[in-house]
Amino acid sequence: MAFLSSFDISGYGLSAQRFRINLISSNIANANTTRTSEGGPYRRREVIFKAVDFDKTLNNQIAESENFLNYENPLDEPGLQDKANPAIMSVKVDKVIRDDSPFKMKYDPSNPDADKNGYVAYPNVNPVVEMADLIEATRAYQANVAAFQSSKAMAQSAIDILRA
């Protein structure tokens, strides 16, 4: 079960970071969008992740399925909680929030979106911040890929040992 849970944890991490990368890409793509369907310029969005107890998530998935036997963590027994390491945690996307910081105001009276004073409100997207976030998300994604590859190599080594 340990190999399967490590694959799942890496998969959840990959999925979360891919979602974050897509959101950052959307922010960068809309850095100059002055008119949206909501009205006004585009607002920067950020993702909030939530750590979830992997064992409870796994038990809920197994309980909902008729094809699996129930998995019980031996550390759930009374008295063993105090001696155990913290629960294995996974990650999921909790919510996407909108950044309500002020817009960038630029003087451009010829722009159709200019106000009566000639100023245009541009999105609150800072490309430098977005690129730094993108690099961080990419590195986190790569770390999850490396963890997945390590788990795969260990599983393959175990299979090779059993064959011999």
The 10s digit of each residue's pLDDT in 140-161 is 999 999 999 998 999 899 889 9
Q: Per the confidence metrics, is the pTM higher than 0.85?
A: no
Average pLDDT over residues 122-139: 96
Write the DSSP symbol of residue 74: G
Residues in the chain: 164
Predicted confidence (pLDDT) at residue 119 exceeds the cutoff of 60: yes
Q: Alpha helices of the chain — where are they, by DSSP H? A: 2-29, 54-64, 127-163
pLDDT, position 1: 46
Domain range summary for the chain, segments of one domain joined by +? 2-31+45-98+125-163
Predicted confidence (pLDDT) at residue 93 exceeds the cutoff of 70: yes
pLDDT, position 5: 77
Query: In sequence order, what are the residues at sequence separation of 6 or more whose Cβ sits closer than 8 angstroms to the Cβ of residue 88?
Result: 5, 9, 53, 54, 55
Predicted confidence (pLDDT) at residue 118 exceeds the cutoff of 50: yes
Residue 120: in which H helix or E strand, if any? strand 119-122
Our CA dihedral for 33, 36, 41, 45, rounded to 10 degrees, sits at: -90
- Which candidate, 108, 120, 123, 115, places its Cα nearest to that of 32? 123
Predicted confidence (pLDDT) at residue 52 exceeds the cutoff of 90: no
